[in-house]
Amino acid sequence: MKLVIFEDASYEQFYPLTYIRPTCDLRCGSTLLREKVERAFGRKADVLFVREWLREAYAVRTSAKVNDLGALAGDDLVLVNGRGLWIGDEFPAAGRDACAMAGAEIAYVTLTKQTAARIQASDFAGFLAASAKAVPAVKTGLKLLGYPWHLIEENGAAIRDDFKKIGKSGVHGTLGPSAVIWGPQNQVYIAPTAVVEPCAVIDSQEGPVIIEEGAKVNPHSRIQGPAAIGRDTQIVGGKIREGTTVGPVCRVGGEVEESIIHGYSNKYHDGFLGHAYVCEWVNLGALTTNSDLKNDYSTVEIKVKGQLFDSGSTKVGCFIGDHTKTSIGTLINSGTVLGMMSNILGAGCLLPKSVPSFVMFMDNKFYKAGLKQLIGTARTAMGRRKVTMTPQDEALIQRLFDLTKDDRDELIKKSRKEMMIQRGLR
Amino acid sequence: MAETIAERVKNVTAEMLKVDPEKVKDSSRFVQDLGAASIQSIELVAAFEEEFNIEMDQDEALSVQSVGDAVAYITKCVGEQHGK
């Protein structure tokens, strides 16, 4: 059997979270969506299909074959939609022919070797469509996530599921004197090299808490389950409230609620982050705070593919792309999207609902940012965590700089005019 | 009489950085002599773009150190983008 995970056309709906990663590599719970699929099947993905312009950068990050149609030959196949949330007990039987539908969308397809051999297609999209037509359709209860806030909505359930499937509990690392587990100890997993320092509280009354290898929880931190703290992450005090995942190699303090910090990002200081997804290499300056609930309790609108879209949810925070940095005191409205590699200097009032990628935002205006300078800064930030930016990563960033040009150019021109008027030069 | 590119660069520089126009010479360095902080440099580049109706490569523009070099760089951009 070959396990194949594919990215469908919905990846744009997850921008900016999916600019530099495929949808299957988004985090929900303590693991990535892809890792949940791999766990369900007990094997690593053999082949991954992602949008073509992501292929080169992604191929160096994985041992799987990427966008290789020829690799599908000669075996039973399971073709899995990478935005499926594989929690619960569903496990499709390989070695039969079926197309599992989540509503009107393909969740996964299982094909026997014989059926797969009969499918003729020149690309994967064609292969998938032909496969779906060739085999009987069945219904599945598997959820396909469609928008960034779905990751947040499902995060608590995903942490519970991860905890159950990891199958480990108890204190295997260090629990300092006067540190407390408040709630059932069998709902806590502290990995062997993790350290919970004195006066920290691990609250498992309402859900499990996972603290992974090398993580450190400093004094006066309270972690309320369900919550997951990733490898080599440091919680530097404050409240990590229910439904929160902090991925690997982060530094996080202040107050965080029902949020996902993907990994390698810092929110070191006080300030509230709620119902938010923060990508990698982000730094949130001290007192950066987001709203996740409107004063009139109405549903939150958010920009998706350039259009304002009603999320249908009253609790939506913000979504922050890779390498973006905020200054001290940045205030972020509910349903705000901050693009990747932007440098945001809050001016003491709420940011616009959408800040494009690769801009300098200051004094409520958008300015150009120099790409070489941004890449240099990113390289420095990554080097501090012993991660190397590959030439493929750099080429991808260049491509994204070009791809997002139209999103920012008009805003920059308008800002320039406003600045000239304000300075009396017009 | 129409101002030259050099005169306009110097006027915009003086206004943006709040310095005495007399102190803005070709040899003046934006950071060391005129006190342009990193944020002001970004605003200054934007002001030049608006003043001359040009687009500049931000990395190149921010690497320009002196007023004279800015005049030369802007003159090149104006020539390329407006054929003057």
Closest CA to A409 of A352, A367, A364, A354: A367
How big is the A-B interface in CB pairs under 8 Å? 49
What's the CA gap between B38 and A91, in Å, rounded?
A: 56
CA dihedral B59, B61, B64, B66 (to 10 degrees): -150
Instruction: For chain A, list residues whose CB is within 8 angstroms of any CB belonging to chain B.
Output: 345, 360, 362, 367-373, 412, 415-417, 419-420, 423-426
Q: How far is A415 from chain B, CA to nearest CA, in Å?
A: 9
- Residue A390 DSSP symbol: P
Place of tokens 């004063």: A295
pLDDT at residue A347, rounded to an integer: 74
What's this model's pTM, rounded to 2 decimal places?
A: 0.96
pLDDT at residue A426, rounded to an integer: 84
Two tokens at A349?
């009032």
- Could you list the mean pLDDT of each consecutive 10-residue stretch along chain A, which spans 426 residues? 97 98 98 97 96 97 97 96 92 83 96 95 97 95 96 98 97 97 98 98 98 98 98 97 98 98 98 98 98 96 94 98 97 98 91 97 96 97 96 98 97 96 90
Q: Tell me how crowded residue A1 is: count the other CB atoms within 10 A of its CB.
A: 15
Two tokens at A148?
């960034």
Contact A367 B47 (CB under 8 A): no
β A137-139/A174-175 pair status = unpaired
Whole-angstrom CA distances from A381 to A242, A246, A296, A324 are 29, 18, 40, 11
Report the residue from B12, B57, B62 with minimal CB separation from A425: B12
Two tokens at A109?
């397809």
pLDDT at residue A374, rounded to an integer: 97
Q: Where are the beta strands (DSSP E) in A97-233?
A: 98-102, 105-111, 137-139, 143-144, 170-171, 174-175, 180-182, 188-190, 195-196, 201-203, 209-211, 216-217, 221-224, 227-229
Place of tokens 């999209």: A125
Q: Are A157 and A86 in contact (CB under 8 A)?
A: no
Q: How far is A419 from chain B, CA to nearest CA, in Å?
A: 8
What's the CA gap between A286 and A267, in Å, rounded?
A: 8
pLDDT at residue A110, rounded to an integer: 96
Q: What is the DSSP string of A83-126?
A: TEE--SS--PPSSS-EEEEETTEEEEEEE-HHHHHH---SSHHH
Q: Are A186 and A202 in contact (CB under 8 A)?
A: no
Q: How far is B32 from chain A, CA to nearest CA, in Å?
A: 20
Greatest extent of chain A over all pairs of C-alpha atoms, in Å = 75
pLDDT at residue B1, rounded to an integer: 61
Place of tokens 């509280």: A201
What's the CA gap between A190 and A284, in Å, rounded?
A: 27
The tens digit of pLDDT for each residue in A76-133 reads: 999 999 999 999 887 777 778 999 999 999 999 999 999 999 999 999 999 999 999 9
Q: How far is B46 from chain A, CA to nearest CA, in Å?
A: 6
What's the CA gap between B30 and B11, in Å, rounded?
A: 13
- Could you list the mean pLDDT of each consecutive 10-residue stretch along chain B, which spans 84 residues? 89 95 95 94 96 96 96 96 84
Interface mutation target, options A345, A368, A414, chain B, most CBs of B under 10 Å: A368
Domains along the sequence of chain A with CATH: 2-146 (3.90.550.10), 151-422 (2.160.10.10)
Contacts of B57 in chain A (CB under 8 A): 370
Amino acid sitting at position A260: I
Angle formed at CA A300 by CA A298 and CA A301, multiple of 5 degrees = 130
Domains along the sequence of chain B with CATH: 5-82 (1.10.1200.10)
Interface mutation target, options B15, B58, B62, B63, chain A, most CBs of A under 10 Å: B58
Contact A425 B15 (CB under 8 A): yes
DSSP 3-state percent helix, strand, coil across chain A (nearest 5)? 25, 30, 45
